[in-house]
Amino acid sequence: MTKIEIVSGDITRLQVDVIVNAANSSLLGGGGVDGAIHRSAGSELFSACKLLNGCNAGEVKITPGFRLPSPYVIHTVGPVWKGGGNDENQTLASCYQKSLRLASENNLRTIAFPNISTGIYGFPKSLAAKIALETVRDYLANHIEIERVLFCCFDEENLALYKGAVSELVLFEKVVSEQDIILTSKLASIIWNEHYVPMIGQEQVDYMLSNLQSPEAIEKLINKEGYQYYIIYHHSEPSGYISIRQKGNDLFLSKFYLIREKRRTGLGREGMRFISLQARMLGLQRIFLTVNINNLNSIKAYKKLGFQIDSPVITQIGAGYIMDDYNMSLQLL
């Protein structure tokens, strides 16, 4: 399920399409991982880097790997920690995001990262692990071309931190395959039966599951109507799903469901953070949704997340059934 792996050892020995070098701004070699990569790649890497005219913090450049097992090296310059008030977090996130983007652009499907900026640059290791994992997680949600991401930890402290952080990481995996669609439909059946039967009755739930949440219906929504579905994983377990679609200048949140035992665990806020990120990536500033008027717990939860009730709306869903809903919206800053 997950494409993220935590390993220990020497990044220069990994057989992946590309390794990432935590370089200095000159790109001409240094200590730590940077020096080890230059030594293993040979003098050809130094010559190639001389032609790149350096690199700014948060930016990336690519060279061949020369004598390394990996055919390519992406060089990125991490931030020096100065207390956290100088955009260090954003700069570190940029190192990971732009490295992944460059890998995608060069059709490189497996990539290994060191623990950028956590050596002599002094970035707090726990915070760096959180930023690294969340940035990679968010990129992978929309880039299925990246097949495998390794975090190669040289020291025991980083190894323990990364293993702990990845075990708690909430993953959002895009629904693409037939197996993904079937799993989404199964999650819908669990959630609708446990949550909506008391509100609208078993008969209407059965109708909606059969006609709107079946694998065939979900496949049509994805392939013909432009909806994007994401399965939510928590502790490696499928825990719910999200469905979104751009409508004009807004992002329509069609579905955001969690199975019962995963509610009140923080997944709601994690999911909204992810949904808001998708809206911003599309250049949108408002999210809207519909929620059943009798769904008081969901209305309360959405209000806590900043949504406002706009207006009531009645939706005809077929076979004489209706959904008596509220429109709710969230303005993004």
As annotated, the active-site residues are 34
Q: Which residues contact 275 (CB under 8 A, 6 or more apart)?
A: 242, 244, 251, 253, 256, 287
Edge-to-edge strand list for the sheet holding 18-23: 4-8, 148-153, 110-113, 18-23, 72-77, 60-64
**Can you tell me whether residue 221 is helix, strand or coil?**
helix
Specify whether the CB–CB gap between 5 and 36 falls below 8 A. no
Q: Which among 58, 63, 99 is positioned nearest to 77, based on CA atoms?
A: 58
β-strands 148-153, 4-8 pairing? parallel
Q: What tokens were used for 95?
A: 């190192």
How far apart, in Å, do the first and last CA atoms of the chain sit?
33
